[in-house]
A and B are shown apart, each in its own frame.
Chain A
Amino acid sequence: MRTLAVALDLLREAASRRWFLALGIGITLLLACFGLALRIEVVDGALAATRLFGKVLDTDIRSVDVAMRYVYRAVAYVIAYGGLLFGIVACADFAPSLLSPGRIEHLLALPVRRWELLAGTFLGVLVLALLGAVYGAGGLTLILSVKTGYWTARPILAALLASVTFAAIYGAMLASALLARSAAISAAVGVALFVSGIVAGNRETLAPLLEPGLRRALFEGATLLLPRVSTMADTAADLAASVPVDGLALGSRLAGLAVFALSALAFAIWRFEQRDF
């Protein structure tokens, strides 16, 4: 299938970019450094002592799974916010680069349908984001699990949730690239959605701060359709920290993100089909 071929080419292109090589090397070095510097002593399933870079961390003796919840929660937030921001900046150039003069004419003259080109690009970027998030979260989880003997895949699940949020944001970035072929505009759209998504995640808290009437209605209407970035980050953190998560609410949020991403992708494909290059 040519969509997969386009996605694989995007991954090859990413592998040849210094940004992504630096990211891969950076994550690996951080994990290795963290793994070598962290010493954890577990006695009868309880965290007895922890040393980071030889310095004893002053913590109470508590069971390993409880102690790890705080760590994994922090990791989930770092991935949800830091990973999203990095992904927005690092992936902003893929669609404008695909549409660059001399490249797009060549691609469109090949036996690839236009929607396959866009869907392949979207898929490739998602796989890239997923690989980065799972590699970082998986590596960290593996190190902590080996050192503590407490095994869990929840931080990886949290990373997957962050990737789904990124899918919604990247769908809009892709659509913006079809309107204006610019990596800067694509990144700006991503950052704007990221920030407004944090606001949208707190809309129930923020709406009462506005006076009832048109302004509040406008705020509620505008934030209704936006991806709930902060809500998803909180859910990912809860999931990583073994806090019970309402499955129905999570499913509803995931469905909302999927609808947003697919709508943005459908708009991008519609625009792509109309355009001359």
Chain B
Amino acid sequence: MGYSSSVLALEATALSKTYGRFLGRGGQQALSGVDLAVPRGTAFGLIGLNGAGKTTFIKSLLGVVHPTAGRVSVLGGSPSDPAIRARIGYLPERLHLPHAWTPTAFLASVARLKGLSAHAQEVRRQLARVGLGNDAERRIGGFSKGMRQRLGLAAALLGSPDLLVLDEPSDGVDPLGRAAIRVMLGEERARGATLFLNSHLLSETERVCDRIGILSGGRLVREGELDALCGSSTRWRIRFTPGCPMAALVALGFVPVEGVADEPPIFSCEAADAPVLNELLDQARAAGALMVELRRDTRDLEEVLADAVADGPGAAA
């Protein structure tokens, strides 16, 4: 994997899980030989279609599901060790909350089970942080979906864990709430926590994570830096004003991008670094082209996911 185990927040080696096996046979394979290493301090996003095995993978990391084969190491230890789990904050996809309790009582219970001493102050702090400070003594039963989600996030954040495993953290949260969650996750990363995110909101994953893994059919079909997965750091897209000298631009190495209906067409070009790029642009301007937009030639995660799934084991089946 290229990392020493001391710098890894989590490591899965040949991880497999088959549900419903009878006498070691049959069953539904959810994970099949997944190898993954996530360095500490990373914001890792796990994406994939429904049934790809994301939730099973997360549950295997937490010891909630027993792998059929393979090995999992979290924060340098086994997830079955309570001392390791004490350093993990987890938000399940659909957290069950006691309706008759108040957020304060719920978080106090979680804090007690986490073994946090003097937890009253920490509970108040996290409630204020997720924007529930004024609702701390209301019954959870009267909360909206977004408020419940934020309460679940507060439970995960209790005790400043080293690893945050969040399953759909912004599900049901309004756009401003999502922005607030992004800020909180940024703060957690800034203090050194590792984020492991599972979300169907790919735009959120793209904005929060710097490393992505794509699961398809129980296999990890893509894994790496977001930039590396989504595009090239040396490829650019440029838009010029209408009436630009097409022939001259093509001669300089600008390639019209196919399938884009804009007039004039958007061009792409290769430039190893900033001086090369600027020289190319100078030559284009000298030929009479006026640039109005420049950006990296990257694909969004949706396209990357679609490609990965098309190439993955599901496609071969």
From B83, B86, B92, B115, A102 is in contact (CB under 8 Å) with: B92
Instruction: Determine whether the beta carbon of B66 is less than 8 Å from that of A110.
Output: no
Nearest neighbor of A2 in chain B, beta-carbon distance: B113
A276 at the interface (CB under 8 A from B): yes
From A16, A105, A274, B100 is in contact (CB under 8 Å) with: A16
Instruction: Determine whether the beta carbon of A102 is less than 8 Å from that of B100.
Output: no
Instruction: State the CA gap A270–B101 with chains docked (Å).
Output: 31
For residue B66, give the distance in angstroms from its CB to the closest CB of chain A: 6
Nearest neighbor of A110 in chain B, beta-carbon distance: B113
Instruction: Determine whether the beta carbon of A110 is less than 8 Å from that of B94.
Output: no
Contact (A9, B96) CB under 8 Å given A2-B115, A110-B114, A277-B64: no
Nearest neighbor of A16 in chain B, beta-carbon distance: B100
Contact with A along B28-47 (1 / 0, CB 8 A): 00000000000000000000
- Residues of A contacting B59 in the complex (Cβ-Cβ under 8 angstroms): 105, 276-277
Contact (A12, B101) CB under 8 Å given A110-B113, A276-B19: yes
A13 at the interface (CB under 8 A from B): yes
- Residues of A contacting B112 in the complex (Cβ-Cβ under 8 angstroms): 5, 9
Instruction: Determine whether the beta carbon of A16 is less than 8 Å from that of B101.
Output: yes
- Residues of B contacting A13 in the complex (Cβ-Cβ under 8 angstroms): 98, 100-101
- Residues of B contacting A101 in the complex (Cβ-Cβ under 8 angstroms): 94, 96
A215 at the interface (CB under 8 A from B): no
Please name the 6 residue pairs, one residue from A and one from B, whose CB atoms are nearest each other, closest first.
A16-B100, A102-B96, A103-B96, A111-B82, A111-B86, A109-B90
Interfacial residues, chain A to chain B (CB-CB below 8 A): 2, 5-6, 9, 12-13, 16-17, 100-113, 274, 276-277
Interfacial residues, chain B to chain A (CB-CB below 8 A): 19, 59, 62-66, 82-83, 85-86, 88, 90, 92-96, 98, 100-101, 105, 109-110, 112-115, 155, 165
- Subset of 29 A-B contacts with CB under 8 Å: A2-B113, A2-B115, A5-B109, A6-B113, A9-B112, A12-B101, A12-B105, A12-B109, A13-B98, A13-B100, A17-B100, A101-B94, A102-B92, A102-B94, A102-B95, A103-B95, A103-B96, A105-B92, A106-B96, A106-B155, A109-B88, A109-B90, A110-B85, A111-B83, A111-B85, A111-B113, A276-B19, A276-B66, A277-B65
